Structure 1
Amino acid sequence: MRKLVWIAWWLTLVVVPLGAYVRLSDAGLGCPDWPGCYGHLSVPAAAHELDHAASRFPDQPLDAGKAWKEMIHRYAAGLLGLTILALTVAGWRRARRAGLPPPALETTLAAVLVLQALLGMWTVTLLLKPAVVTLHLIGGMSTLALLTVLLARERGLAPVRLAARARWGVGLVLVAVVGQVLLGGWVSSNYAALACGVQFPACRGEWLPDGMLFRDSFHVWRALGETASGALLSSDHLTAIHWLHRAGAGVVTLSLGLLLVRLWPQHRLRRHLLALGVLLLTQLLLGMANVLLQLPLPLAVAHNAVGAWLLAGVVLLGWRVWQSAAQTVSDPSAAWSPSCVNRY
């Protein structure tokens, strides 16, 4: 079980940035159908396969480079899906042998996997609707968060007792990071990464640009590049999307920075806190570099990858402090130990 969780966790850290690479390299529709590519399980190459693809999708000529990017992502996601199914079955079997109820985490993970497969299909069939693309990213990050908790549980990582105020601070930081991931997905799915121009920290020459249009920019169900009424999104719409993501970065930086200072006296958490601080600084530098260097693909993908690591780190911190609180409520006299975590 531990090996399966470990493999799935690392695969997720590959699949999530790989999906960002596909999207940022404009290969999200490299294959116009799903789960295959132009009616095949791999990118068509033989003459008869190319003829069949041209007849079936006459308005979408094959670009082999983009199609292979999309299919490699699908293969990796498929491998991740099989691994998650295997660990879910293993978790259910272990619970049945122990006479316990069905495991909630493994069952939730399997449900997220099914939803992710559907979102992957809808991403293609609904032609990259921003809401679907963003939800697909959130599904990938949710998979990573659940696997992080499973990995901590399987490795018997000991929780850390904190005061209630500090625990709630960790929870608020987690909410801020999740919100920032959502905003980042909305920026990416609307291709608004350079809406503020090549400027930082100013946006279009101002801290708070005039004329930003928020209402239509954040209307959930609309086509890519359009408002809900079908009009084209203007630069003022895209600026509003990008500016709010920058504001979210400020909230995350301030809240996480204060939390790191608040928890630094906890010696058992110092390595964890140091890692979070490094990830936060790296993410800020990557965000600035993406703007100032006009979104080079390697840096854009790295921004997504470090965001995934930062989310996993905050989730792990939350698990360590809230599990201790849960144990205290259920048994105030209990002392936490690795064996206690393994029993749980």
Structure 2
Amino acid sequence: MKILVRIAIILAFVVVVLGAFTRLTDAGLGCPDWPGCYGHLTVPKAEQVNSAQAKFPQQIIEPQKAWNEMIHRYFAGTLGLIILAIAVLSIYKPHAQKVRVFSISLFFLVCFQAALGMWTVTLVLLPAVVLAHLIGGFSIFVLLVLLERALAYTAVTKTKLPKLAWLCFIVLLIQIILGGWTSTNYAALACTELPICEDGWQQRLDLNAFHLISPEADTYQYGVLDYSARMTIHIAHRIWAVITLFTLLGWAVFCFFQSQKRVSGFARLNIASASLIVLLATQVGLGIANVVLSLPLMVAVLHNAVALLLLTAFVLTLYYYSVAPVQSRAR
């Protein structure tokens, strides 16, 4: 089961990256139906284009975008089947209660994630749904990592997490949500100057930008908010990024000091803390590069991927802080 979980971790990371690539190449509606594509299990072939176009006369068939979308769905579907297998194995094999709870929770989460994938298409990229889909993908990856840790190690001692840990978690979660909201509302290029935005941004702030209920539209592709709203979202993401940077740096330093007091598990906590610092520096650099270079595709995809790794590294610092793990027997 451990090997299956590790395969699922790799696949979940690929799915998240492919999801970001699909969104950033404007391929979220590359296939206007779900789970197929123009009524087919694959992108329509040359001889199927006419019949596909007849079913969706308002849609322009763009094969490259359609393939981006379908490849993402194929990988996501494979991940779902693997998580189903993990859940079944956790029920019929003698695993600890924690492993069983993680596995079954993952199964229900991936089912809900599939529904969000469908709604992403049927609700024509409604920002709140796309954001929820992003958070769901992040959650699946992190839970898989924690499941792998539960299978690999047995926690022999527990330490209560300090309030600082929960504060850091909330700060990081808000930043991830702001990043997702920036992306789903196509606000990544609303400000092209550093450190905040173009002159006069203070007078143009619009707090309505954070309403989860978006204005009615035929499609939300390319965004429906005006410039002031997008600018406000972008600025909020930048300012909160600075808060997140210093908050998580403080947590990493705190963990380094706390690890020196531990009899066991300190090496893993140090590694997780060091990884957190490296990922923070990388993410800040990628964020600046997105602005300076006008959102290059690969940099934007990496920004999304590193955000996932950053969240995972932070969660692992919580795990290693609260428990002193010892090696478990192979399962």
TM-score, normalised to structure 2's length?
Answer: 0.89
Contact 1:159 1:321 in 2 (8 A): no
Query: For the structure 1 residues 232 and 188, does the alpha-carbon distance in structure 2 shift closer, same or farther, using more than 3 Å as the test?
Result: closer
Unaligned runs of 5+ in 2: 261-265
Q: Check if 1:145 corresponds to 2:142.
A: yes
Distance 2:198 2:69 in 1: 34
Q: Are the structure 2 counterparts of residues 253 and 86 from structure 1 closer, same or farther at C-alpha, using a change threshold of 3 Å?
A: same
In the superposition, relative to structure 1, how do residues 224 and 246 fare at CA in structure 2: closer, same or farther (>3 Å)?
Answer: farther
* Alpha-carbon distance change, 271 to 290 in structure 1, aligned in 2, over 3 angstroms: same
* Aligned-residue identity in percent: 42
Specify which of 301, 326, 329 is matched with residue 338 of structure 1: 326
What corresponds to 1:261 in structure 2?
253
Q: Could you tell me which amino acid in structure 1 is paired with residue 134 of structure 2?
A: L
Deviations, residues 20-59 of structure 1 (Å, cap 9, x unaligned): 1100111100000000000111011131x11210110011
Aligned residue for 1:338, secondary structure, equals: strand
Counterpart residue number, 2:205: 212
Name which of 146, 163, 169 aligns with 1:168.
163
Q: Where do 1:76-115 residues align within 5 Å?
A: 76-94=75-93, 97=94, 103-115=100-112
Note if 1:248 corresponds to 2:240.
yes
- What does residue 191 of structure 1 align with? 186
Q: Would the aligned equivalents of 1:181 and 1:307 in 2 still touch at CA under 8 Å?
A: yes
RMSD across aligned positions (CA): 2.4
Q: State the AA in 2 paired with 1:264.
A: F
Measure the CA separation in 2 of the matches of 1:234 and 1:245: 17
Distance 1:180 1:157, change over 3 A: farther
8 A contact 1:167–1:321 mirrored in 2 = no
- The count of residues paired between Structure 1 and Structure 2 equals 318
Give the Å deviation of 1:320.
Answer: 2.2
1:299 and 1:342 map into 2 onto residues whose CA distance is 41
CA distance in 2, matches of 1:180, 1:194: 17
Shift of 1:161: 6.2
- Residue 115 of structure 2 corresponds to 118
Paired amino acid for 2:31: C
Deviation at 1:157, TM superposition (A): 6.7
Q: For the structure 1 residues 189 and 204, does the alpha-carbon distance in structure 2 shift closer, same or farther, using more than 3 Å as the test? A: same
Moved over 3 A (4+): 97-102, 157-162, 223-226
Distance 1:234 1:212 in 2: 11
Contact 1:190 1:225 in 2 (8 A): no
Change (3 A) 1:287 1:98: closer
Structure 1's 288 and 100: CA in aligned 2 closer, same or farther, altered over 3 A? closer
Aligned residue runs from structure 1 range 1-344, under 5 A:
1-47=1-47, 49-94=48-93, 97=94, 103-156=100-153, 167-196=162-191, 198-205=192-199, 209-215=202-208, 217-223=209-215, 233-265=225-257, 266-267=259-260, 268=266, 269-322=269-322, 324=323, 338=326
Provide the secondary structure at the position in 2 that maps to 1:32: coil
